[in-house]
Amino acid sequence: MTTSSTALIDHLAAQLQSVAALPHLGVIQAQGEDAANFLHNQLSNDVLLLPVGQSRLAAFCSAKGRMQASFVVIKIAPDTVLLVMSLDLLAQTLKRLSMFVLRAKVKLTDASGQWQLRGLLGDSARTGLAEAAPWQTVSVDGAHTVALYPAVLGDTKVQRALWLGAASQALPAGAEVSTEVWAWAEVMSGVTLVTQPLYEAFVPQMLNYESVGGVNFKKGCYPGQEVVARSQFRGTLKRRTAMVHSSVALSAGQDVFTPPDPEQPCATVVLSAARPDGQGFDALVSGTLESQLSGWRLGNAQGQALELLPLPYALLADI
């Protein structure tokens, strides 16, 4: 954080004990006896061996290994898998995934209208999950609560969870908080989903997915698998996602520069949100490792300086 004030951290953490609507997310349903096997062959993570009632993070890539979408994958039955994703990419992702169905016994549909989605923070998340590790899932009476990476504020961790319930189901208890506060907590977790401005901008490791359980390097082939594996095993990763603070607003897809190379963007804004206390903006930025050391500037080499903040998790070393 840009201030070591314990009072500020306590103030922020106190606001994150609540429930947020998630209108920016949607749900694709894969149903049929081949559902898990089909998705296993399309995504960066293991879906075939995913236990019923559990979840994983996964990416859907182009043949060049560039992320076209990413999901929280939830297997709710042996023949039914839900993909929670950014709503602005849902229609085109559903269309592209459907191109690969061929003779597989699986039906892909937009199931967004069948599910209520809520983000749980702090005590609201702990109610159903206790201290569950990220991606662990608790399913009760048809509702599913997925543990996410926590928001980290100094030495304080605020638990986060994704809740899915049927349209007729009672919502989880907790004070309502804005989607903007949820977005800020997401930034402070260091883990986010791909949105439209980031379409085909990154291989999964550029969003740190290999470090937060989003890539399985032991599973079989999927689109882009060779590029993703080569990036990891040959040590060719040049970009990583870092956390930054800014006094001015940032937007996803915005270019970031460094003074030593003012003509070429060296990084891209992934996700940004205002701090709940009004003290500037925090963001995730994916950029070259060299430029992180030289300093990042927003928009151009003379733009607003971005202050690097520590990531809340360790990065997996290149293999």
- When pLDDT is averaged across residues 43-72 and rounded to a whole number, the result is 97
Q: What is the CA radius of gyration of the chain?
A: 19
Q: What is the DSSP letter of 130?
A: T
**DSSP category for residue 48:** T
**pLDDT bucket at 234, cuts 50 / 70 / 90:** low
| The pLDDT of residue 272 is above 60 | yes
Q: Residues of 45-58 as b/e, b for ≥16 C-beta within 10 angstroms?
A: bbbeebeeebbbbb
Q: Residues near 5 by Cβ (< 8 Å), separated by ≥ 6?
A: none
Residue 2: pLDDT above 50? Answer: no
Work out the mean pLDDT of the chain and round it to a whole number.
92
Whether residue 9 is predicted with pLDDT greater than 70 in this model: the reply is no
Element (H, E) at 190: none
* Predicted model pTM: 0.94
Q: What number of helices (H) and strands (E) belong to the chain?
A: 7, 17
Query: Which amino acid type is present at position 225?
Result: Q
Residue type, 212: V
The tally of CA atoms less than 13 A away on the side-chain side of residue 233 is 9
Q: Is the pLDDT of residue 160 over 60?
A: yes
Q: Which CATH fold would you assign to the domain 6-177?
A: Gyrase A; domain 2 (3.30.1360)
* Long-range CB pairs of 141-146, under 8 A, 24+ apart, other chains included: 141/169, 142/166, 142/169, 143/169, 144/53, 144/55, 144/74, 144/76, 144/82, 145/120, 145/172, 146/55, 146/72, 146/74
Query: Could you state, in order of their start, the residue ranges of all structural domains in the chain?
Result: 6-177
110 neighbors 134 (Cβ within 8 angstroms): no
Give percent of the chain above pLDDT 70. Answer: 93
pLDDT for position 168: 87
Do residues 296 and 306 touch, judged by C-beta distance below 8 A? Answer: yes
Residue 76 β-bridge partners? none
Q: State residue 84 phi and psi, 5-degree precision.
A: -90, 125
Tokens for 111?
């199931």
